[in-house]
Amino acid sequence: MRLFFAIGLSEAWGLWNHLDACAEMFAAAGYRMTPRANLHLTLNFVGDADADRASQLVERCASVSALPFVITLGGHLLALPSPRHPRVLAYGVTSGRDELANLARQVGYADSQSFLAHVTVARAKGGAGLLPAVPVFRPIEFMVNSYCLMNSELGQGCAAYNVVREFPLR
């Protein structure tokens, strides 16, 4: 299994609508859109793990202490790793960063100072793409009530993400 901790974005309708409106611009610039079912905020990428390691991760989550909180996705597109060589297009978090960094630290992210909360919305189809001229979207807020341990199954095209276990914030 390839495991990671994430916050699902099933409630982020404003982001979905914006991405639908920008799909042609992303494609023309050489990017493949992230499927809606795969949109998430990564808290910590664990990597390859067996069933025992997955059980240990689930047990560790029993000690996570965080209340539900609100985050805001900002309206400016991020080009990662840099605007000169964009391979990934993402939207950043403009509020709720501290809460996300705290949660990331509790699920094993080693350096919460370097934690960049973002939602990957598109990837360059082959190498670095052009940076598309995408309109700024109105920031959207949504409540984070839980986080998940996810499994990434690689295949042809894009990976499929499946929830291993969901953990409520309380």
Please tell me the class of the 2-168 domain. alpha beta
Share of the chain above pLDDT 90, in %: 38
* Amino acid 69: pLDDT: 96
pTM: 0.86
Q: What would the mean pLDDT of 19-45 be, rounded to a whole number?
A: 87
* Amino acid 98: pLDDT: 92
Q: What would the mean pLDDT of 46-53 be, rounded to a whole number?
A: 93
Quote the longest CA-to-CA distance of the chain: 46
Q: How confident is the model at residue 128 (pLDDT cuts 50, 70, 90)?
A: low
Q: What would the mean pLDDT of 46-75 be, rounded to a whole number?
A: 91
Q: How confident is the model at residue 5 (pLDDT cuts 50, 70, 90)?
A: very high
Q: Please tell me which of 38-42, 147-151, 152-156 the model is most confident about, judged by mean pLDDT.
A: 147-151
Chain segment 63-115, per-residue pLDDT in tens: 999 999 999 987 778 888 888 888 888 888 989 999 999 999 999 887 766 77
* Amino acid 49: pLDDT: 93
Does 151 have pLDDT greater than 70?
yes
Does 158 have pLDDT greater than 70?
yes
Half-sphere exposure of 62 (CA within 13 A, CB side): 5
Quote the tokens at residue 147: 């986080």
Amino acid letter, 73: L
* Amino acid 19: pLDDT: 84
Does 132 have pLDDT greater than 80?
no
DSSP at 155: -
Q: What is the dihedral of CA 17, 165, 145, 96, to 10 degrees?
A: -70
